[in-house]
Amino acid sequence: MPRDAYVNGRFIPHGQAQVHVEDRGYQFADGVYEVIAVHAGKLVDEEPHLDRLDHSLGSLKIGWPMSRAALKLKMRELLRRNLVREGIVYLQISRGVAPRDHAFPKSKPRPALVMTTRHARAPNRALLDKGAAAITIPDIRWQRCDIKSVSLLPNILGKQQAAEAGAYEAWQVAADGTVTEGTSTNAWIVTKDDKLVTRSLSHAILSGITRLTVLGLAGEEGLKIEERPFTVDEARAAREAFLTSTTSFVLPITTLDGKPVGDGKPGALSMRLRDFYLRYMDAEPAAPEARLSN
């Protein structure tokens, strides 16, 4: 199946996609990214993702490489070319190409934009029936985790640690013993008195778009919600735990550090929220078709 990428103004075969050796995203991780789910050919929560992209770019003082409207058209054209109906679109914007120097280049290069797509589906039924395992690890990241930076080395090390432990995810733990978030997901628990708890937004975590949507859906259903830090001990004593992300949607956590959470089975509320979210994705209106020339 043919597969194209978008690199700095051009649609090109994926295998030929490349960036300049002095692109600051490559040399300094001086850039940001977004991952947007595609369901039934629709970009899920597109506007909130682009709002977060705007926050990340603004925090690093990087300009948009094109208008928001133009970016939407380019994403849709890439999805059309790659025949993606279920999957993701990945986009990355760096400060651009400049001679290697730590300070921002005085030449003010044009921000560099790369986009790719991938066919993907939700976690398989066996994982949903059993639930996912998570471990806890120290949070060793920087202090601006609200920026969706391409600098992900601590996250990669944590995800690898989880993989080596046979776990799906690693929940990162701050010095005060509270869970911040997963290496690529947001963390949630359900207390024994049916309160839905997830950490409040701050520089300590990324504002997950799926997190925000699930909070809204839970509110619409009249569920009790607390946005606050929770400890590892609280998580271990919780009735349920789950994670949210663009690619995993809502996924129950049934073991934490090798010990069962609750009864060790996917919780009823976690699965109910997953159903709410899947219905939400199905109900999202279709976006206009892209109309770009080849």
- Domains of the chain by start residue, with CATH: 4-119 (3.30.470.10), 125-281 (3.20.10.10)
Q: Which of 106, 148, 192, 195 is catalytic?
A: 148
Q: Two tokens at 126?
A: 């066996």
Q: What is the pLDDT of residues 83-100, one digit of tens each?
A: 999 999 999 999 999 999
* pLDDT value at residue 123: 75
CB half-sphere exposure, 186, CA atoms < 13 A = 29
Q: Two tokens at 111?
A: 């921000």
Global pTM?
0.94
Q: Which residues of 26-55 are buried (b: 16+ CB within 10 A; e: fewer)?
A: bbeebbbbbbbbbbeebbbbbebbbebbee
CB 180 within 8 A of CB 204: yes
CA–CA dist 83, 81 (Å, integer): 6
Which residues fall within 8 angstroms of residue 123, CB to CB, at 6 or more apart?
Answer: 132, 248, 249, 251
CA–CA dist 34, 119 (Å, integer): 16
* pLDDT value at residue 2: 66
Output 202-206 pairs: Cβ under 8 A, ≥24 positions apart.
Answer: 202/146, 203/143, 203/144, 203/145, 203/146, 204/143, 204/145, 204/146, 204/174, 204/180, 205/145, 205/146, 205/180, 205/181, 206/145, 206/146, 206/148, 206/181
Q: What is the pLDDT of residues 197-216, one digit of tens each?
A: 999 999 999 999 999 999 99
Q: Two tokens at 16?
A: 């030929």
The burial class, CB within 10 Å (0-12 / 13-18 / 19+), for 156 is exposed
Helix, strand or coil for residue 141?
Answer: coil
* pLDDT value at residue 287: 47
Parts of the chain with a pLDDT under 70? 1-2, 285-294
Q: Phi first, then psi: give them for residue 262, nearest 5 degrees.
A: 60, -130
CA–CA dist 81, 294 (Å, integer): 10
Q: Two tokens at 120?
A: 């993907």
259 labelled catalytic: no
* pLDDT value at residue 291: 35
